């Protein structure tokens, strides 16, 4: 699985990059036919809160899986988005195994 990490206007900490590679790289082990996974990390800063947004897209065969999360830390947002995408991937995998 190919992993593309984008963070326009934001310098990601190496620990966050390693976390992204770990969490989203694991999805390729769950489903061998996983194609390209694009992860976008953005930061919204306003007066009250500083939130991080993580959006992830994963292409498999004829499907495109998508997950979005928002948290006060980039680590939390990455973990949540990876978990959401993992649940979708497991559901697709189970559906395909049941249809065989």
Q: What is the Cα–Cα distance from 14 to 60, expressed in whole angstroms?
A: 28
The tens place of each residue's pLDDT in the chain, 100 residues long, gives 899 999 998 899 999 999 999 999 888 888 877 889 999 999 987 766 778 999 999 998 788 999 999 999 999 999 999 999 999 999 988 887 777 6
Q: Which sequence spans correspond to the domains of the chain?
A: 2-98
- Specify the pTM: 0.88
pLDDT at 63: 83
CATH architecture of 2-98: 2-Layer Sandwich (3.30)
pLDDT at 47: 60
Q: What is the Cα–Cα distance from 47 to 6, expressed in whole angstroms?
A: 25
CB atoms within 10 A of CB 26: 12
43: helix, strand or coil: strand
17: helix, strand or coil: helix
């Amino acid at each position: 699985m190919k992993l593309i990490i984008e963070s326009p206007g934001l310098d990601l900490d190496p620990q966050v990059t390693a976390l992204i590679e770990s969490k989203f790289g694991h999805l390729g082990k769950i489903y061998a036919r996983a194609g390209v996974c694009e992860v976008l990390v953005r930061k919204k800063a306003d007066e009250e809160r500083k939130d991080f947004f993580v959006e992830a897209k994963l292409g498999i065969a004829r499907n495109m899986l998508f997950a979005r999360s928002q948290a006060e830390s980039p680590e939390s947002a990455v973990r949540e988005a990876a978990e959401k995408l993992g649940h979708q991937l497991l559901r697709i995998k189970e559906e395909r195994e049941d249809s065989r």
